[in-house]
Amino acid sequence: MDYSLQISVNYLLGVPDGKFSPGVEDVYLGYSIWHRSSAFGLFADSTDGINYLGLSLELSLR
């Protein structure tokens, strides 16, 4: 399972129609949570599964 949230840096700066720089149209910041099942404890120490947290940075190029 994967839950994620992304937001535009241009939106945060209050420039929704502008470009971030000449070669980059927009930059997105993201936060994600991945859940990996442990299949009843066969692939991990826990029987409930493992959660991985992540931050992302995505560039939208011209």
pLDDT tens for each residue of 43-59: 656 567 778 899 999 99
Spell out, as residue ranges, where the chain has pLDDT lower than 50. none
Say if CB 27 and CB 57 are below 8 A apart.
Answer: yes
Query: Which H/E stretch holds residue 10?
Result: helix 9-13
Determine the structural domain holding residue 26 and report its residue range: 2-61
Number of domains comprising the chain: 1
Looking at residue 43, its pLDDT comes to 61
Give the whole-angstrom CA distance, residue 16 versus residue 23. 16
How do 24-36 and 2-8 pair as beta strands? Answer: antiparallel
pTM for the model:
0.67
> Quick one: pLDDT at residue 17?
72
